[in-house]
Chains A and B, each alone.
Chain A
Amino acid sequence: MQTVGRTRTHFLIRAWTAFVVLAIYLPIACGALAGLSKGRYFSFPIRIFSTEWWGKTWDSFEIHVLVQNSVLIALIVTVLSVLFAFFGALAFARYPWKGRRAFQRLLLLPIFFPQPVLGLALLLWFNALGISPSWKTAVVAHLVWIVPVVTLVIAIQVFSFDPVLEEAASDLGASRLFTLRTVTLPILWPGIWSGALFAFLLSWGNFPLSLYTAGADSTIPKWLYSKMVAGYTPMVPALGTMSTLTAAALLLGGGLVRVLLKRRSELRAREG
Chain B
Amino acid sequence: MAENSLSAPAPKLSPGLRASLPVLVLLVAGFLAPLVTVAAYAFATPKSFDVFRSFTLQNFAAIFDANNTVWTSFVWALALAFACVAILLVVCYPIAFGLNKVFGKWSGLVSVLFVFPLFVSENVRLYGWVLFFIKNGVLDGALKWLGFPGGPDLLYTPGITLFGMVYVYLPFMLFPMTLGIAMIPRDLVDAARDLGASRLMIWREVELPLAMPGILIGALLTFVLAAGAVAEAKILGGQSVITITQDIEVAFTYAQNWPMGSALALILVLIVSGLALTAMSRLDLDKILGKR
Chain A positions within 8 Å of B, measured between CB atoms, are 5, 10, 12-14, 16-17, 20-21, 23-31, 33-34, 42-45, 83-85, 87-88, 90-118, 120-125, 128, 140-141, 143-144, 147-148, 151-152, 155-156, 159-160, 201-202, 204-208, 212, 220-221, 224-225, 228-229, 236-237, 240, 243-244, 247-248, 251, 255
Pair A251/B23 contact, Cβ less than 8 Å: no
Query: SS class of chain B's interface: helix, strand, loop or mixed?
Result: helix
CB distance from B203 to the nearest CB of A (A): 11
B122-164 interface (Cβ within 8 A of A)? 122-132, 134, 136-138, 140-142, 145
Pair A124/B17 contact, Cβ less than 8 Å: no
Interface-located stretch among B54-62, B66-74, B220-228: B220-228
User: B26, B128, B229: which contacts A144 (Cβ < 8 A)?
Assistant: B26
**In the bound complex, what is the Cα–Cα distance between A160 and B291 (angstroms)?**
7
Query: SS class of chain A's interface: helix, strand, loop or mixed?
Result: helix
Pair A88/B128 contact, Cβ less than 8 Å: no
Pair A26/B128 contact, Cβ less than 8 Å: yes
Pair A140/B95 contact, Cβ less than 8 Å: no
User: A45, A112, A123, A244: which contacts B252 (Cβ < 8 A)?
Assistant: A123
B27-48 interface (Cβ within 8 A of A)? 27, 30-31, 33-35, 37-38, 41
**In the bound complex, what is the Cα–Cα distance between A219 and B24 (angstroms)?**
28
**In the bound complex, what is the Cα–Cα distance between A141 and B30 (angstroms)?**
7
In the complex, the chain A residue whose C-beta lies closest to that of B21 is A87
**In the bound complex, what is the Cα–Cα distance between A196 and B128 (angstroms)?**
28
**In the bound complex, what is the Cα–Cα distance between A116 and B272 (angstroms)?**
14
Pair A118/B34 contact, Cβ less than 8 Å: yes
Pair B118/A114 contact, Cβ less than 8 Å: no
Pair A205/B118 contact, Cβ less than 8 Å: yes
How many residue-residue contacts, CB under 8 A, span A and B?
304
Chain B positions within 8 Å of A, measured between CB atoms, are 1-2, 4-5, 8, 14-17, 19-24, 26-27, 30-31, 33-35, 37-38, 41, 51-52, 91, 94-95, 97-98, 102-103, 110, 112-114, 116-132, 134, 136-138, 140-142, 145, 167, 170, 199, 220-221, 224-225, 227-231, 234-235, 245, 248-249, 252, 258, 261-262, 265, 268-269, 272-273, 276-277, 280-281, 285-286, 289-292
Q: List, in ascending order, chain A residues with CB within 8 A of B229's CB.
A: 114, 116
Known contacts A90-B19, A124-B38; is A44 also within 8 Å of B137 by CB? yes
Pair A116/B245 contact, Cβ less than 8 Å: yes
Pair A120/B228 contact, Cβ less than 8 Å: no
Pair A144/B280 contact, Cβ less than 8 Å: no
User: A14, A24, A28, A42: which contacts B102 (Cβ < 8 A)?
Assistant: A14
**In the bound complex, what is the Cα–Cα distance between A104 and B20 (angstroms)?**
10
In the complex, the chain B residue whose C-beta lies closest to that of A32 is B128
Pair A201/B119 contact, Cβ less than 8 Å: yes
Pair A84/B33 contact, Cβ less than 8 Å: no
**In the bound complex, what is the Cα–Cα distance between A87 and B18 (angstroms)?**
9
**In the bound complex, what is the Cα–Cα distance between A83 and B132 (angstroms)?**
42
**In the bound complex, what is the Cα–Cα distance between A206 and B119 (angstroms)?**
8
Pair B119/A121 contact, Cβ less than 8 Å: no
- Identify 10 residue pairs between A and B in the complex whose beta-carbon atoms are under 8 Å apart, listed by A's number: A17-B98, A20-B91, A31-B131, A43-B137, A91-B23, A95-B16, A116-B229, A128-B37, A144-B27, A225-B123
CB distance from A209 to the nearest CB of B (A): 11
**In the bound complex, what is the Cα–Cα distance between A85 and B1 (angstroms)?**
19
Pair B37/A125 contact, Cβ less than 8 Å: yes
Pair B249/A99 contact, Cβ less than 8 Å: no
Known contacts A43-B141, A205-B118, A255-B112; is A114 also within 8 Å of B227 by CB? yes
**In the bound complex, what is the Cα–Cα distance between A31 and B121 (angstroms)?**
13
**In the bound complex, what is the Cα–Cα distance between A121 and B129 (angstroms)?**
30
Besides A16-B94, A251-B119, 13 other A-B contacts (C-beta < 8 A): A31-B124, A31-B131, A44-B137, A91-B20, A108-B285, A109-B273, A109-B276, A116-B245, A124-B41, A207-B121, A208-B231, A224-B124, A251-B112
**In the bound complex, what is the Cα–Cα distance between A44 and B151 (angstroms)?**
12
